[in-house]
C-alpha cells in the first residue's frame, strides 16, 4: 500500500508538557489556582485600595466620622450598655471604600487591613517556603550525596528537629528574637521586621523537606548514571548540579503549594499568639486576634480573615494535590497539617 | 462433567477503546481431570479463569457467554451465591505466593478463616483441621507453622500454605494460576508433585495455567493452547505433544530445550510479538507471526473444529 | 526484638538530649541580647540581673550553664518566674498537664473513631458523590485555622445561639476538674474536643481512605475474595487492618505533638489552662523561665509518646517483630 509509506509526523511530548496538559485538564486544580491568584491580586492592590478609600489602615482613628447616605456616623460609637464606657466600632457598611467590613477596636478600616494583612501573610508564607526549600534542599543534598560523617551529623540534627514540636520550636525562637531581633555578624534584623517570622517558619519546616530529599538523593547517588559520572572523574558539585538536582525538581515543585499552605496556617497561628507579625503591621492572624475581643459584638472582624485563610489554604491544597498527581503521582508528599 | 464453558467473552472498556481479553472460549472439564492451559502473557488464560471464579470486579468489564459448574450457570449468579461456591467448591491458587497472603495474620488464622467462612464449625475444630491440612501439604512441623506469619516462610512454603488454604474445604474444582512461576526450579518440582498427589486424594478437577510447556507435559491430562483471547488448539496431552497441529503450538514446543541429545546454541524464539488486544487483525490473530500463511488467513478467522483434538487453523482444515 | 527496643530507647534518649541542647542554645546562646535580661523580664533592676547572672551561671562556661539549667528544670525544680515573682514554674507545669491530657485524649478518641468511619465509607464508595463530599469536607477541616474554628464555635454556642435549645447546655468557657465535677468536666470539654478533632478527622479520613484503596489493589485482597469472604469482611479484616499501620504512625506523631503544644491554640481559645495556655500567658508577659519549662517538658512528652507509638507499631506489624 502506497499511502502507508507516507511518514506520519508523530508528536512526541516531553514529560513536562505531558504533566502540564494533565494539570490543565484537572478542573478542581485549575479552579483553585484561579481562586488563589485572585486573592493574590486583591492583596497586591492593597495600597491602591487604601489610597482610593482614603484610609490609613495602620493609624488608629478613634474619632473619625464618615458619611453614610448624607448622615454623619462616628466610626467608634459610644457604648450605651452597662456604665456607658467604651466604644463599639462601626459594623459593616457593605459599601466599598467606606468601611466595607466595618471598623476594628482602633477605628481602622477592616477591609483595608484585610488586604494589607493578606499581603503580609502571602509574602511571609511565600518567602518562608523559598527559605525552607533552599535550606532543606541544601541539607538533603549534602547529607545524601556526601554521606559518611556529614550525613550522620546532619541526619541526627534533622531527626531532633523533626521530633521537636513545631509550635514549641517556633515559640522558643520567637520569644528570644521578638524583643531585640537577630544580630549575627552582618545580618541585623529589627524586632518588628517581617523577616523574623519568615526565618522562624522557614527553619521549623526544614526537616519536612530535607528528609525526603536526602532519601531521594541517596538512591540517586547509587544509580548507574551517577556512578558512571563519578568514575569518569566529574567533580562532585557538577554531578549535584547537573545530574542530581534536575531529578529532584519535580519533588521540589510539588512541595511549593503544600508548604505554602502549611506556612500560611503557621504564620497566622504565630501572629494570633502575638509572636508573628508585630503591630502596627497586620496579617490575617493578627486581625483575628484583634477581633477576638470584638467576637460577640462585631464578629466579622475575626470571621473574615479566618475565612480568607481557609479559602487560600484550601485552594493551595487542592492545587497542590493536582500538581502532585500531574507531576509525581507516586510521591508521598502529604497534605499540610499542624 | 464438572465445568462447562461455552463461548465465553470478556472485554474491558478503556480510554483507548474496547479490549477483547477473551473472545469466544469454550472448554469442558471432567471430574479429577487436569487441564493445562498454555499461552503467553496476555493470551487471556488468567482472565478466563478469573471469570470462572467470578473475580473480575472491574466495573468496566463485561462478561458474556456461559460458565456452568455442575450444571449450574455461574454468569449472572448473585454475588452471594457465587461467594458460597468460591473457596468452598471452587478454589484458586495464585501465581505469587509472596503477595497472596495478608501480611498481618498468621497462616493458621488465614486458613481457619476460610474454613469458618464456609463451614459452621468451632474455632478449635477449625484449628485441628488447619493442622491436618498443613501436614498434608508436607509442612515439616505443621503445629508450629500455624503460628507463622507469611514473611517468616520461604516462597515454596508460602505456596504450600496457599495450597493448603485452597484445599481446606475439599473443592471439587481447583484453579491454579501459574503456581510455580515465581518459585525456584527445585521448589517447582515439589509443588507439582503435591498437585498430582492431591488430585489423587481429593479427587479435585484442576485447571492449571502455565506458560511452560514442560510443566504441562508432566502434569496435564488434556491441554488447551490460547493465543490472543482464543483457544487455538486443544487435545489430550499425548495428541498435542506427538502431533501438534497449530503453528503456534509447534512454535511453543520448539521453545523447550530438549532433555536429551545436543543442546541447541540458541532456543528458537517466535518472531514478532502478540497483537494488541485493542486492534486484533480481521483474520487469524497469529497470522502475522505465522511461518505458513494462506491468503484467507488475513481475511477470515479460522474456527476451532470439533473433536477431541482440534486446532483453529486453515492449514489443518485443508490437510 | 529486644535489640530493636533497646535501639529505639537509645534513640529516644539521644533525641531528648538533642532537644534539650537546642532549647538551651535558643534561650541562652542566641546572639543579640543578654540572656540574663531576657530571663529577668522587662524592667528588671540591676540587682535582679546580677542575681540571675549568678544563679544561672552566666559568668561560667556554656556547659556549666547547660547543666545548671537542666538541674533547675528536672532535678530540683526550683526554677522561678521573674514576672510573677517567686512563682515556682515546675509545679505550675505539673498542675496543667491533666487539663491538656483531658483535651487531647477526648479529641483523639473522637477523631480516631470518626475518621475511621469516614475513611471506610469513602473507600467503600470511592468516586461516588458521597466519597467526594466527605473528602471535600475533610480538606476544609484541614484548611481552617483551628483557633479561628474555635472562635466560630464560641460565637455560635456561647453567644449567638446559646439561648436556643441546641446549645443551652454549653457551660461558660473554662475547665472543671474531673474529680470535683465529672459532668461539668465533660460538658465544658465537648466543644473543644469537636473543634480540635475536626482538623484531624480531615487529615486521618483522607489518609485512611488512600491507604485502604491502595491495599484493596493488593494481591492478598484477591486471595481473600477467592476464599469466598464477604466484601465487608474483606474491607474490615484485610484492607482496613493492613491500612491501620500507616494510621498508627501518623497518630503517634500527632498525638505527641498535640500534647506537646499543638493543642495550645485550642486551649487559648477555650480558656483551658493546660500547658499550652500556660505557655501562651507566659508569652504575653515574656516570662522566659516559664516558657523554658513548658517547652522542655512538652518536648520530652512528645519524644516519649513517639517512642511508645513505635512499640505499638511493632505489635501491629508482625514483619517488624522479627527483623
pLDDT confidence band for B255 (50 / 70 / 90): low
- In this prediction, residues B6-15 reach a mean pLDDT of 85
Instruction: Please identify among residues 239-298 of chain C the ones whose CB lies closer than 8 Å to any CB of chain A.
Output: 254, 256-258, 260-262, 264-265, 268, 279-280, 283-284, 286, 288, 291, 294-295, 298
What is the per-residue pLDDT for A160? 85
Q: Which residues of C touch B164 (CB under 8 A)?
A: none
Instruction: Please identify among residues 184-213 of chain A the ones whose CB lies closer than 8 Å to any CB of chain C.
Output: 184
What is the per-residue pLDDT for B289? 75
Is the CB of C226 less than 8 angstroms away from the CB of B94? yes
Which chains pack against C, by 3+ Cβ pairs within 8 A? Answer: A, B
Q: Does C201 touch chain A (CB under 8 A)?
A: no
What is the model's pTM? 0.83
Has residue B316 got a pLDDT over 80?
no
Contact in structure between B202 and B117 (CB atoms under 8 Å): no
DSSP class per residue in B90-158: EEEE-S-TTTSS-TTS-HHHHHHHHHHHHS---HHHHHHHHHHHHHHTT-SSHHHHHT--GGGS-HHHH
Q: Which residues of B touch C228 (CB under 8 A)?
A: 83-88, 114, 117-118
Residue position matching grid coordinates 470439533: B306
DSSP class per residue in A46-72: HHHHHHHHT--TTS--TT-EEEETTEE
Judged on CB neighbours under 10 Å (0-12, 13-18, 19+), B267 is exposed
Is the CB of C322 less than 8 angstroms away from the CB of B104? no
What is the per-residue pLDDT for A337? 37
Contact in structure between C301 and A193 (CB atoms under 8 Å): no
What is the per-residue pLDDT for A8? 43
Is the CB of C147 less than 8 angstroms away from the CB of A167? no
Question: Which grid coordinates belong to B215?
Answer: 510443566
Is the CB of A175 less than 8 angstroms away from the CB of C140? no
Q: Which residues of C touch B152 (CB under 8 A)?
A: 322
- Dmax over CA atoms of chain A, in Å, equals 100
Q: In terms of DSSP H, where are the helices of C43-181?
A: 46-55, 62-70, 89-124, 129-143, 146-154
What is the per-residue pLDDT for A7? 42
> How many CB pairs lie under 8 A apart between chains B and C?
76
pLDDT confidence band for B263 (50 / 70 / 90): low
Q: Which of B86, B92, B102 sits opposite C238 (nearest CB)?
A: B102
Q: Which residues of C touch A165 (CB under 8 A)?
A: 256-257, 260-262, 298-299, 302
Alpha carbon B74 to its chain centroid, in Å, reads 18
What is the per-residue pLDDT for B264? 54
What is the per-residue pLDDT for A81? 61
- The string over A252-277, giving b where at least 16 C-beta atoms fall within 10 Å of a residue's C-beta and e elsewhere, is bbbbbbbbbbbbbbbbbbbbbbbbbb
Is the CB of A164 less than 8 angstroms away from the CB of C299? yes
Contact in structure between C235 and C123 (CB atoms under 8 Å): yes
Is the CB of A184 less than 8 angstroms away from the CB of C159? no
**Residues B69-79 pLDDT 10s:** 888 888 888 88
What is the per-residue pLDDT for A196? 86
Among candidate residues A148, A152, A159, A157, the one with its CA nearest the CA of residue A236: A148
Q: Does C148 touch chain A (CB under 8 A)?
A: yes
Question: Which grid coordinates belong to C229?
Answer: 469472604
Is the CB of C38 less than 8 angstroms away from the CB of A176? yes
Q: Which of C219, C228, C242 sits opposite B104 (nearest CB)?
A: C242
Those residues whose C-beta lies under 8 Å from the C-beta of residue B44, and which sit 6 or more positions away, are B10, B21, B22, B23, B25, B226, B228, B229, B230
- The single-letter DSSP state of residue B268 is -
Is the CB of C142 less than 8 angstroms away from the CB of A182? no
Contact in structure between A121 and A285 (CB atoms under 8 Å): yes
Q: Which residues of C touch B102 (CB under 8 A)?
A: 220, 223-224, 238, 241-242
Contact in structure between C45 and C37 (CB atoms under 8 Å): no
Q: Which of C224, C238, C318 sits opposite B149 (nearest CB)?
A: C318
**Angle at the Cα of B115 from the Cα atoms of B113 and B117, rounded to 5 degrees:** 65
Instruction: Please identify among residues 242-281 of chain A the ones whose CB lies closer than 8 Å to any CB of chain C.
Output: 261, 265, 268-269, 272-275
Contact in structure between C207 and C247 (CB atoms under 8 Å): yes
Distance (Å) from the alpha carbon of C237 to chain B's nearest alpha carbon: 10
Residue ranges, chain A, pLDDT below 50: 1-10, 334-338
**Residues B125-159 pLDDT 10s:** 999 999 988 988 888 888 888 888 888 888 888 88
Is the CB of B117 less than 8 angstroms away from the CB of C224? no
Read off φ and ψ for residue A73, nearest 5 degrees.
Answer: -125, 125
Q: How many CB atoms lie within 10 A of CB B100?
A: 27
Peptide bond just before A280 cis, omega within 30 deg: yes
Q: Which of B86, B99, B152 sits opposite C218 (nearest CB)?
A: B99
Neighbouring-strand partners of residue B208: B36, B176
What is the per-residue pLDDT for A9? 45
Residue position matching grid coordinates 546532619: A154
When computed from its CA atoms, the radius of gyration of chain B, rounded to whole angstroms, is 20
Q: Which residues of A touch C31 (CB under 8 A)?
A: 182-184
Q: Does C242 touch chain B (CB under 8 A)?
A: yes
Q: Does C161 touch chain A (CB under 8 A)?
A: no
Has residue B271 got a pLDDT over 90?
no
Best residue in B100, B110, B165, B181 for a mutation probing chain C (most C CBs within 10 Å): B100
Contact in structure between B137 and B194 (CB atoms under 8 Å): yes
Contact in structure between B146 and B108 (CB atoms under 8 Å): yes
Is the CB of C223 less than 8 angstroms away from the CB of B103? no
Nearest Cα residue in chain C from A189 = C32
- The Cα–Cα gap between B99 and A49 comes to 62
- The string over B107-119, giving b where at least 16 C-beta atoms fall within 10 Å of a residue's C-beta and e elsewhere, is bbbbbbbbbbbbe
Alpha-carbon separation of residue C137 from A276, A307, A337, C122 (angstroms): 29, 15, 15, 12
Contact in structure between C119 and C205 (CB atoms under 8 Å): yes
Contact in structure between A73 and A90 (CB atoms under 8 Å): yes
Q: Does A296 touch chain C (CB under 8 A)?
A: yes
Name the superfamily (CATH) of residues C96-317.
MetI-like (1.10.3720.10)
Q: Which residues of A touch C268 (CB under 8 A)?
A: 273
pLDDT confidence band for B258 (50 / 70 / 90): low
Q: Which residues of C touch A179 (CB under 8 A)?
A: 33, 38, 286
Q: What is the pLDDT along chain C (323 residues), one digit of tens a residue?
A: 677 778 888 888 888 888 888 888 888 777 666 777 777 766 677 777 787 777 777 777 888 888 888 888 888 777 777 766 677 888 888 888 889 989 999 999 999 999 999 999 999 998 889 999 999 999 999 899 999 999 898 888 887 777 777 777 778 888 888 888 888 888 889 999 999 999 899 989 988 998 999 888 888 998 898 888 888 899 999 999 888 887 887 887 788 778 777 788 899 999 898 888 888 888 888 788 888 888 888 888 888 877 887 777 777 777 766 54
Q: Which residues of A touch C19 (CB under 8 A)?
A: 160, 163-164
State whether residue C235 is helix, strand or coil. Answer: helix
What is the per-residue pLDDT for A82? 55
Measured between alpha carbons, how far apart are the two ends of chain C, in Å?
7
Strands B310-311 and B230-236: antiparallel
Instruction: Please identify among residues 115-144 of chain C the ones whose CB lies closer than 8 Å to any CB of chain A.
Output: 139-140, 142-144
Domain ranges of chain C: 2-90, 96-317
Q: Does C217 touch chain B (CB under 8 A)?
A: no
DSSP class per residue in B190-258: HHHHHHHHHHHHH--EEEEEES-HHHHHHH-SEEEEEETTEEEEEEEHHHHHHS--SHHHHHHHHTSPP
What is the per-residue pLDDT for B235? 85
Is the CB of C31 less than 8 angstroms away from the CB of A183? yes
The reply to whether ipTM tops 0.95 is no
Instruction: Please identify among residues 279-308 of chain C the ones whose CB lies closer than 8 Å to any CB of chain B.
Output: none
Is the CB of A317 less than 8 angstroms away from the CB of C142? yes
Q: Which of A163, A288, A314 sits opposite C139 (nearest CB)?
A: A314
Which chains pack against B, by 3+ Cβ pairs within 8 A? Answer: C
Among candidate residues A329, A247, A332, A326, the one with its CA nearest the CA of residue A26: A326
Q: Do A and B count as touching (3 or more CB pairs closer than 8 A)?
A: no
- In this prediction, residues B37-43 reach a mean pLDDT of 81
Among candidate residues A278, A298, A308, A294, the one with its CA nearest the CA of residue A99: A298
Q: Is A75 left (phi over 0), alpha (psi -120 to 50) or beta?
A: alpha
Alpha-carbon separation of residue B69 from B78, B94, B148, C74, C230 (angstroms): 15, 21, 35, 74, 21
Is the CB of B103 less than 8 angstroms away from the CB of C242? yes
Distance (Å) from the alpha carbon of B44 to chain C's nearest alpha carbon: 18
Q: Does C214 touch chain B (CB under 8 A)?
A: no
Q: Which residues of A touch C160 (CB under 8 A)?
A: 299
Q: How many CB atoms lie within 10 A of CB C68?
A: 16
Instruction: Please identify among residues 67-86 of chain C the ones whose CB lies closer than 8 Å to any CB of chain B.
Output: none
What is the per-residue pLDDT for C129? 93
**Residues A251-265 pLDDT 10s:** 888 889 999 999 999
- The Cα–Cα gap between A210 and B195 comes to 53
Amino acid at each position: 500500500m502506497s499511502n502507508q509509506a507516507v511518514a506520519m509526523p508523530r508528536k512526541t511530548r516531553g514529560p513536562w508538557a505531558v504533566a502540564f496538559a494533565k494539570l490543565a485538564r484537572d478542573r478542581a486544580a485549575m479552579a483553585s489556582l484561579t481562586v488563589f491568584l485572585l486573592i493574590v491580586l486583591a492583596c497586591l492592590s492593597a495600597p491602591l485600595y487604601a489610597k482610593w478609600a482614603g484610609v490609613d489602615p495602620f493609624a488608629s482613628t478613634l474619632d473619625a466620622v464618615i458619611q453614610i447616605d448624607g448622615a454623619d456616623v462616628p466610626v467608634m460609637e459610644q457604648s450605651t450598655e452597662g456604665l456607658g464606657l467604651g466604644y463599639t466600632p462601626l459594623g459593616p457598611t457593605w459599601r466599598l471604600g467606606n468601611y466595607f467590613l466595618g471598623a476594628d477596636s482602633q477605628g481602622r478600616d477592616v477591609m483595608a487591613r484585610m488586604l494589607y494583612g493578606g499581603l503580609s501573610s502571602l509574602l511571609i508564607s511565600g518567602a518562608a517556603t523559598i527559605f525552607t526549600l533552599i535550606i532543606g534542599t541544601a541539607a538533603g543534598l549534602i547529607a545524601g550525596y556526601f554521606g559518611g560523617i556529614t550525613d550522620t551529623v546532619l541526619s541526627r540534627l534533622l531527626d531532633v528537629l523533626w521530633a521537636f514540636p513545631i509550635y514549641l520550636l517556633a515559640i522558643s525562637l520567637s520569644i528570644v528574637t521578638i524583643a531585640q531581633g537577630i544580630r549575627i555578624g552582618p545580618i541585623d534584623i529589627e524586632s518588628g521586621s517581617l523577616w523574623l517570622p519568615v526565618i522562624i517558619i522557614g527553619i521549623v519546616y526544614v526537616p519536612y523537606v530535607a528528609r525526603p530529599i536526602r532519601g531521594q538523593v541517596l538512591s540517586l547517588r547509587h544509580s548507574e548514571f551517577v556512578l558512571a559520572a563519578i568514575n569518569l572523574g566529574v567533580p562532585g558539585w557538577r554531578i549535584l548540579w547537573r545530574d542530581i538536582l534536575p531529578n529532584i525538581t519535580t519533588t521540589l515543585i510539588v512541595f511549593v503549594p503544600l508548604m505554602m499552605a502549611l506556612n500560611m496556617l503557621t504564620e497566622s497561628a504565630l501572629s494570633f499568639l502575638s509572636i508573628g507579625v508585630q503591630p502596627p503591621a497586620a496579617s490575617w492572624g493578627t486581625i483575628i486576634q484583634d477581633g477576638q475581643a470584638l467576637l460577640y459584638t462585631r464578629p466579622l472582624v475575626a470571621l473574615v480573615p479566618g475565612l480568607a485563610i481557609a479559602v487560600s489554604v484550601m485552594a493551595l491544597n487542592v492545587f497542590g494535590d493536582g500538581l502532585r498527581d500531574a507531576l509525581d503521582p507516586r510521591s508521598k508528599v502529604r497534605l499540610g497539617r499542624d | 462433567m464438572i465445568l462447562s464453558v461455552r463461548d465465553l467473552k470478556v472485554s474491558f472498556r478503556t480510554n483507548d477503546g474496547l479490549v477483547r481479553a477473551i473472545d469466544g472460549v469454550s472448554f469442558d472439564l471432567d471430574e479429577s481431570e487436569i487441564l493445562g492451559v498454555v499461552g503467553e502473557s496476555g493470551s487471556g488464560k488468567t482472565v478466563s479463569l478469573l471469570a470462572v471464579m467470578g473475580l473480575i470486579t472491574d466495573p468496566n468489564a463485561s462478561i458474556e457467554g456461559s460458565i456452568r459448574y455442575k450444571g449450574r450457570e455461574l454468569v449472572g449468579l448473585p454475588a452471594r451465591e457465587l461467594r458460597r461456591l468460591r473457596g468452598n467448591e471452587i478454589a484458586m491458587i495464585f501465581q505469587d505466593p509472596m503477595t497472596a497472603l495478608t501480611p498481618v495474620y498468621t497462616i493458621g488464622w488465614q486458613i481457619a478463616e476460610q474454613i469458618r467462612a464456609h463451614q459452621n464449625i468451632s474455632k478449635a475444630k477449625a484449628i485441628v483441621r488447619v493442622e491436618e491440612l498443613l501436614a498434608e501439604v508436607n509442612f515439616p512441623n505443621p503445629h508450629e507453622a500455624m503460628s507463622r506469619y507469611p514473611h517468616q516462610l520461604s516462597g515454596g512454603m508460602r505456596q504450600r500454605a496457599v495450597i493448603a488454604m485452597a484445599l481446606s474445604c475439599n473443592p471439587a474444582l481447583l484453579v491454579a494460576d501459574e503456581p510455580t512461576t515465581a518459585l525456584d526450579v527445585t521448589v517447582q518440582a515439589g509443588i507439582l508433585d503435591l498437585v498430582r498427589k492431591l488430585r489423587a486424594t481429593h479427587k479435585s478437577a484442576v485447571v492449571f495455567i502455565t506458560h511452560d510447556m514442560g510443566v504441562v507435559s508432566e502434569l496435564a491430562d488434556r491441554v488447551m493452547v490460547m493465543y490472543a483471547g482464543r483457544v487455538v488448539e486443544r487435545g489430550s496431552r499425548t495428541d498435542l505433544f506427538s502431533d501438534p497441529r497449530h503453528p503456534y503450538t509447534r512454535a511453543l514446543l520448539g521453545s523447550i530445550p530438549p532433555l536429551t541429545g545436543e543442546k541447541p546454541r540458541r532456543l528458537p524464539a517466535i518472531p514478532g510479538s502478540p497483537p494488541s488486544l485493542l486492534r486484533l487483525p480481521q483474520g487469524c490473530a497469529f497470522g502475522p507471526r505465522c511461518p505458513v500463511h494462506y491468503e484467507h488467513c488475513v481475511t477470515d478467522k479460522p474456527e476451532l473444529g470439533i473433536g477431541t483434538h482440534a486446532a483453529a487453523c486453515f492449514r489443518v482444515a485443508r490437510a | 526484638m529486644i535489640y530493636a527496643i533497646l535501639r529505639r530507647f537509645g534513640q529516644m534518649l539521644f533525641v531528648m538530649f538533642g532537644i534539650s541542647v537546642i532549647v538551651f542554645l535558643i534561650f541562652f546562646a542566641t546572639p543579640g541580647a543578654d540572656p540574663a535580661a531576657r530571663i529577668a523580664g522587662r524592667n528588671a533592676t540591676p540587682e535582679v540581673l546580677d542575681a540571675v547572672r549568678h544563679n544561672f551561671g552566666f559568668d561560667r562556661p556554656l556547659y556549666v550553664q547547660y547543666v545548671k539549667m537542666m538541674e533547675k528544670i528536672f532535678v530540683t525544680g526550683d526554677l522561678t518566674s521573674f514576672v510573677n515573682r517567686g512563682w515556682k514554674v515546675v509545679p505550675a507545669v505539673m498542675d496543667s498537664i491533666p487539663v491538656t491530657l483531658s483535651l487531647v485524649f477526648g479529641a483523639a478518641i473522637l477523631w480516631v473513631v470518626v475518621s475511621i468511619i469516614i475513611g471506610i465509607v469513602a473507600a467503600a464508595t470511592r468516586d461516588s458523590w458521597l466519597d467526594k463530599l466527605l473528602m471535600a469536607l475533610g480538606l476544609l477541616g484541614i484548611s481552617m485555622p483551628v483557633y479561628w474554628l474555635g472562635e466560630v464555635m464560641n460565637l455560635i454556642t456561647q453567644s449567638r445561639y446559646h439561648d436556643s435549645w441546641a446549645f443551652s447546655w454549653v457551660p461558660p468557657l473554662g475547665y472543671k476538674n474531673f474529680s470535683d465535677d465529672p459532668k461539668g468536666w465533660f460538658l465544658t470539654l465537648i466543644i473543644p474536643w469537636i473543634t480540635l478533632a475536626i482538623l484531624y478527622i480531615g487529615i486521618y479520613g483522607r489518609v485512611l481512605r488512600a491507604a485502604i484503596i491502595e491495599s484493596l489493589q493488593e494481591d492478598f485482597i484477591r486471595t481473600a475474595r477467592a476464599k469466598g469472604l464477604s466484601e465487608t469482611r474483606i474491607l474490615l479484616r484485610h484492607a482496613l487492618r493492613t491500612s491501620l499501620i500507616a494510621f498508627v504512625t501518623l497518630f503517634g506523631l500527632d498525638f505527641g505533638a498535640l500534647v506537646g503544644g499543638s493543642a495550645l491554640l485550642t486551649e487559648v481559645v477555650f480558656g483551658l489552662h493546660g500547658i499550652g495556655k500556660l505557655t501562651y500567658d507566659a508569652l504575653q508577659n515574656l516570662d522566659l523561665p516559664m516558657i523554658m519549662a513548658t517547652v522542655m517538658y512538652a518536648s520530652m512528652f512528645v519524644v516519649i509518646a513517639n517512642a511508645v507509638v513505635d512499640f505499638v507499631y511493632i505489635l501491629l506489624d508482625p514483619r517488624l517483630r522479627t527483623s
